[in-house]
Amino acid sequence: MSFLNVNSKNVTIGEEFIESNYNYQTTEVQKTETGITVTPKDMPINFRTKKTPAKTGLMLVGWGGNNGSTVTAALLANKQKMSWETKNGTQDANYFGSITQSAAIRIGQTSTFEEIHIPLKEVVPLVDPNELVIGGWDCSSVNLWSSMKRAKVLEPELQRQLKDQMEVMTPLPAIFDLEFLANNQDERADNVIPLPKAQAVEKVRQDIRDFKAKHELDSVIVLWTANTERFTDVTPGVHDTADNILKALEDNHAELAPSGCYAIASILEGCSYINGAPQNTFVPGIVELASRHNVFIAGDDFKSGQTKMKSAIVEFFVGAGIKPECIASYNHLGNNDGYNLSSPKQFRSKEITKSNVVDDMVASNEILYPDAKKPDHCIVIKYLPYVGDSKRALDEYSFQIFMGGQQTVVMHNTCEDSLLATPLILDLAILCELMQRVEMSTDGGATYEKSNTVLSLLSYLLKAPFVPEGTPVVNALNRQKQCIENVFRALVGLPPENNMLLECKMKQTTKQ
C-alpha cells in the first residue's frame, strides 16, 4: 500500500520512523468580570511514529455475541475476498462504516484548485484489519459458527461459506457475575471461570499470554463487547486508588465488576483495554493503574446509530442558532443486548450514556441557554424479540426558532445493530494500535513519551467519551472527527484543516 509523500523540511520519513516537527497553535482564554481575553499560543511538538504496525491480536470479551461473531465473519470474508448472493444480487465483502478503511480525508488542492482527497489509511501506516488475529472469551460455550447463526445478522449463503472455519473457533471461559447483569443472562452462561476474582484475573492474564505466544503477536488489544453491566457503586477505600482496587481484587470484593476484572488483567499484561459498553468500568483506581503501567484505556459504549445521529443533529441546530427544547428518543430491538437491557439497572447504564450526548453542545451557547438548563430529554428502550438485530430508533426533536416559533423534526432509523458496531470495533482497535506507535516530545526531541493513557482520541466512536480528568468532554460529532483527521495530519507535518480557502477568495493572485 502506498502512503502520502510530504514535501516538507519539517518531516523526515526514515526506515523506522516518521518524524514531524509540528507547530501546534491554540488559544488560551482568561475570563474576568470585565470580559474575555484571548491569547494565541504556539507549542512546538515533535511527533515520532513507528512506520511498521505491530502484529496485533484482538481479544473480545463477549466473542460469542452478535458483535463478536459478526467481526470474526467479516474479517474472514474480507481477507478471502468472499462474495455471496442476496435477493438484490451479488454482494462482495467490504469494510463500509469503518473510517480507517472506507473514509477519505482532504489533503489540499492543486495549483489549479482541484481538491484532492485520499483514503485515511494512506496518510500514515495502519494495521491491516485482514491481518488482525481474533480470539476472546464468552460465557456461552457455543462455537462461533453457531453464534453467527444464532445472531441472524449475516446472509445464510455467507454463513454457509464460513461454516468450516468458524465451527472450530470456541470462546475461552469468561468471568461472569450475575450481580452485574440481568437475571435472564443466566440462561446462556455455561462457560464461566469458577474461581474467585483474583484467580479469575490470573486465568485471564494467562489466556492473554497464551494467545500472544501461540500467534507470535507483538501486541494484544482487549475490547469489551459483552453485555451492559449495571453501574458499579464506587466506594472510597475500594475503587479510589490503584492499590485499593488491587486489594479489592484480592479480597474478592462484591462490587468489583467483571469488566473491571478484565481491565485489571489487561493493564497488568500491558494490553490496551477498550470498553464498548456503557457501564462505569473506569473507576479512579483502574485509571490510576493504567497510568502506572502506561497502558491505554478508552471508552465508553459504541456510538453506532441513534446517538451518532443525535450528536450530529444537535450540533447542527445549536450551531445554526436554533434552540433544541425537547428530545424524545425511543428504541426497540430483539437481540440479546435488548434482552439484557430489559432489566432496569442495566437500562440505567445505557440511559446515562445516551442522555449526556448533548451536554457540551448546550454549554457552548449561552445565548440559547443563558441559565444552562438542558433540553427535556427522554430515552426509552424496549425488547421485542421479533425484530432481532434490526434495531428501530425513533426520535422527535422540538426546537424554538425565530420570534417564539416552533419546529419539530421526526426521524425513524432502522439499522442493523451489529453491522454498525462491527466497523467501530475495528476502528477502535486500529486507531489504538496506531497510538501505541506514536510518541511526542515538547523539549525539542530530547525525550519522548506516549499520549495520556486515557485515549480520548477515540471519542468519535464512543457514546460517552471517557477523557482525562479535568479536560473537556466533546460529544459534537464533527469536532470529534476533525480531531482524528487533524492528528493524522500532524503526524506527517501537515497543518490542520481550517476550510477557509482564502486563496480562492482574494482578488490578489497568490503564489502556491
Catalytic residue, candidates 350, 354, 360, 389? 350
Which of 399, 402, 378 is CA-nearest to residue 324?
399
CA angle 150, 155, 158 (to 5 degrees): 100
Element at 263 (helix H, strand E): helix 258-268
351: number of Cβ within 10 Å: 19
Q: Which residues pair with 379 in a beta bridge?
A: 329
Instruction: Confirm whether 391 is a catalytic residue.
Output: yes
Annotation says 350 is catalytic: yes
Within a 10 A sphere around the Cβ of 394, how many other Cβ atoms?
16
Residue type, 489: R
441 SS3 class: strand
- Is residue 463 annotated as a catalytic residue, yes or no? yes
What sign for the dihedral angle of Cα 116, 120, 124, 125? negative
Which three three-digit cell numbers place residue 172? 475461552
Alpha helices in 364-456 (DSSP H): 417-436
Say how far apart CA 355 and CA 463 lie, in whole Å. Answer: 9
Residues 6+ apart with CB under 8 A from 210: none
From 300, 301, 337, 417, the catalytic residue? 301
Phi, psi of 378 (to 5 degrees): -125, 135
Distance, in Å, from the CA atom of 269 to the CA atom of 220, rounded to the nearest integer, reads: 9
Contact 50, 433 (CB under 8 A): no
C-alpha cell at 346: 442495566
Residue type, position 411, single letter: M
Rounded CA separation 270/275 (Å): 16
Cβ(98)–Cβ(427) under 8 Å? yes
Angle between helices 242-250 and 197-214 (to 10 degrees): 100
- Residue 81 bears catalytic tag: no
How many other C-beta atoms can be found within 10 angstroms of the C-beta atom of residue 172? 20
CA terminus-to-terminus distance, the chain: 29
> Which residue from 142, 247, 130 is spatially nearest to 189, judged by alpha carbons?
142
CA 285 – CA 182 distance, rounded (Å) = 26
Q: Taking each helix axis from N to C terminus, what angle separates 284-293 and 242-250, rounded to the nearest 10 degrees?
A: 110
Count CB atoms within 10 A of the CB of residue 146: 17
Given 308, 310, 323, 391, the catalytic residue: 391
Q: Are 223 and 425 in contact (CB under 8 A)?
A: yes
Catalytic residue IDs: 301, 350, 391, 463
